[in-house]
Structure 1
Amino acid sequence: MPTVRRVKLGSQGLEVSAQGLGCMGMSSFYGPPKPEADMITLIHNAIDSGITFFDTADVYGPHTNEVLLGKALKGGRREKMQVATKFGIGWKEGKMEVHGDPAYVRVACDASLKRLDIDCIDLYYAHRIDTRVPIEVTMNELKKLVEVGKIKYIGLSEASATTIRRAHAVYPISAIQLELSLWTRDVEEEIIPTCRELGIGIVVYSPLGQGFFSSGPKVVENLSKDDFRKLLPRFQPGNLEHNGNVFDRINEMAARRSCTPSQLALAWIHHQGNDVCPIPGTTKIENLIKNIGALSVKLTPEEMAELESIASADAFKGDRYGGMSATWKDSETPLLSSWTAK
């Protein structure tokens, strides 16, 4: 197994493996929870393979994914790992609620520390941005958590460029988590340049398009009845057939490169820069090994151009979430001056 290189995220000292492991699908959203012992074995395999960066959130399960990762940390493995978790998403009557008020942040952090059974969270993200609370207020509370040693670094997930700038002015952001893949490229226009300007690391979730770039349209054939991907616009009939035709072209290119389409899609992410870390999730050791293999796939400028031509901004059909989840487009918060006047 080749050594996994490391990358620096932000300017505060966070250094992680160039590829992480997203743990969400082990416990929720992608069908029923997977057997705990198998998932712990998978996490241990990732560590042994050189992966040090593990991503979870309190809403995964809810709560059970953090407990799972906490168990996997035992046996002297904690010092080899950087643990990222998130706060802010809750559900009420089937609808997402986002919370970023200081009291909520404090309680959420303490609860995550307890479930993970650790003394300090390496990277703590606001999972979504609470548009009722100025981002400065949320950031000030996160800053306090750094100062008392409960978290090391601060991140935001699904934040607009404006929100990122305002947050970073309060305390340095180490990482922005965003969705980037061959079929999700809208962050290239403003958000990624903003991160680069401010020296903020980029953590990429769903780099394989929720599994689409692993097997194309066939991925829907094996989804359980409660897998949320069944509701996503890009996986609906019509859109899926169109997107499958684009996948076929990517698959053909992967065959020429003697790699899998998922490795090609991940390699494209790795070629975006040394400040980028994708966190593909998987529940199978064979897929973990394939994903790590993507680090060895080197693409020429011509191949990058060909791939980006195939997967152009308008190549795929269907919205990301179809209104099912808040995104960076919904992340503007009130100004601090207007909020404090209330």
Structure 2
Amino acid sequence: MPASPRPPVRALRELHVSAQGLGCLPTTAFYGRPDPARAVATIRAALDAGVTLLDTADVQGLGAGEELLGRAVAGRRDEVVIASKFGMVRSADGAFQGLCGEPSYVRTACERSLRRLGVDHLDLYYQHWTDPAVPVEETAGAVAELVSAGKVRHFGLSEPSVATLRRADAVHPVTAVQSEWSLWSRDIEAEVVPACRALGIGIVAYAPLGRGFLTGGIRTTDDLAAEDFRRGQPRFSADGLAHNRALLDRLRPLAAERGLTLAQLALAWLHHHGPDVVPIPGTSDPAHLTENLAAAAVRLDEDDLAAVAEALAVPVLGERYAPALLAMTGN
């Protein structure tokens, strides 16, 4: 396994972050019930290793994710770039109720996130999927006001269409687009990635390990906790997992020949796409954190990339989200 040096610094427009960030979703919700002390230890280990971009959202654990992140970075605020999100509405019991981009909601959501995190500003504030009922210009204007007030430093969008991205950027500069991007989710490559590069906007790749599938550690639904949200997603159905293992079967020897784990190969492939791409693999396990960070130092040559491309000829079975959630991402 390659050494794990401190990740180099990359720029998302005018925001400088580590080449690899940490997705904090697994620290509180959706993937079972992680141990809070271990999650905090993982976040602090990431800081010690030179990771600066920490990504959370107000819907993660109904705010518990932000609270945990706040505890983890207490006393180290000047070392971190905190990214959070607004706009996905959930009820007290966790049910998804839709999206909201109303300016008043944006302001309220920001105040709540600041309070839970225990900070006076957010470095990067994303709209968490676009509300079709509210023009994105109004939402972007609300974030611009938060920037003017010093409560937000940079504006981001999660999974926007190219048209939405351009409209928002015309109101207030968009620093980063966060979208799902991995060896089995490549939808953004055709249009969104070129648009970001034309506008000078950075790209943050979430779920770069296919929500854990690309690590090779999930073979059947029995490998997932009873409350794990992946159980309800098509690619993690019994048929989806059985079919999609063919992709791993092709990738596994490629990784082994290069002295890499499957996770490192998947992350190195994303790093290859350019210095404007920052993957944010999520984990609450310090050992997995170390494994993931080593990928930032891996360099894939033309033969490596050709071999990966050949492996990707295997079609993926299943949408990345269940229908109701997938519909929320469309804009």
TM-score (norm 1): 0.92
Contact 1:96-1:325 within 8 A present in 2 as well: no
Q: Do structure 1's residue 8 and structure 2's residue 11 form an aligned pair? A: yes
Q: What is aligned with 2:145?
A: 144
Moved more, 176-185 or 236-245: 236-245
1:46 equivalent to 2:46? Answer: yes
Equivalent residues in 2 for 1:184-195, closer than 5 Å: 184-195=185-196
Which shows bigger deviation, 196-205 or 293-302? 293-302
* 1:251-290 mapped onto 2 (5 Å cutoff): 251-290=252-291
Q: Is the 8 A contact 1:216 1:247 kept in 2?
A: no
- What is the deviation of 1:37? 1.9
Write the distance in 2 (CA, Å) between the matches of 1:182 and 1:82.
Answer: 26
Report the alpha carbon displacement of residue 328 of structure 1 after superposing the two structures with TM. Answer: 7.9
Q: Give 3-state SS (helix, strand or coil) of 1:63's partner.
A: helix
* TM-fit CA distance, 1:54: 0.2
Coordinate RMSD, CA, aligned: 1.5
Q: Deviations over 1:282-321 (max 9, x none)?
A: 1111100000011122100221122122114x62111111
Q: Conserved in 1, the CA contact under 8 Å of 2:204 and 2:279?
A: yes
Equivalent residue number for residue 71 of structure 1: 71
Q: Does 1:247 align with 2:270?
A: no
In 1: Cα distance, 2:268 partner to 2:199 partner: 25
CA contact (8 A) 2:40 2:68 kept: yes
Alpha-carbon displacement from aligned partner over 1:312-339 (angstroms, at most 9, x marks no partner):
4x621111113131468611xxxxxxxx
Is contact 1:57–1:65 with CA below 8 Å preserved after alignment?
yes
What's the counterpart of residue 315 of structure 2? 315
Q: Counterpart of 1:102?
A: 103
Q: Aligned AA for 2:8? A: R
Shift of 1:193: 0.6
Counterparts of 1:1-342 in structure 2, within 5 Å, are: 1-10=4-13, 13-32=14-33, 34-75=34-75, 77-92=76-91, 94-215=95-216, 217-218=218-219, 220-312=221-313, 315-326=315-326, 330-331=330-331
**Deviation per residue, 1:55-78 (Å, 9 max, x gap):** 000000010000001111112x11
Alpha carbons 1:23, 1:65 under 8 Å: kept: yes
Aligned residues: 326
Task: Kindly provide the amino acid, as one letter, of the partner of residue 91 in structure 1.
Answer: R
Provide the rounded CA distance (Å) in 2 between the counterparts of 1:134 and 1:82: 28
Q: 1:217 to 1:66 in 2, by over 3 A?
A: closer
Q: Please identify, of 109-118 and 317-326, the stretch whose mean Cα deviation from structure 2 is larger.
A: 317-326
Q: 1:200 to 1:6 in 2, by over 3 A?
A: same
* Structure 1 pair 303–96 and aligned structure 2 pair: CA distance change class (3 A): farther
Sort the Cα spacing of 1:309 and 1:328 in 2 relative to 1 into closer, same or farther, 3 A.
Answer: farther
Partners in 1 of 2:292 and 2:234 — Cα distance?
26
CA shift at 1:169, angstroms?
0.7
CA deviation after TM superposition for structure 1 residue 95, in Å: 3.7
Gaps of 5+ in 2: none
Instruction: Report how far residue 3 of structure 1 moved.
Output: 2.0
Aligned residues: percent identity? Answer: 44
Cα distance in 2, alignment partners of residues 119 and 309 from structure 1: 48
Which ranges in structure 1 are unaligned for 5 or more consecutive residues? 332-342
1:178 CA displacement: 0.2
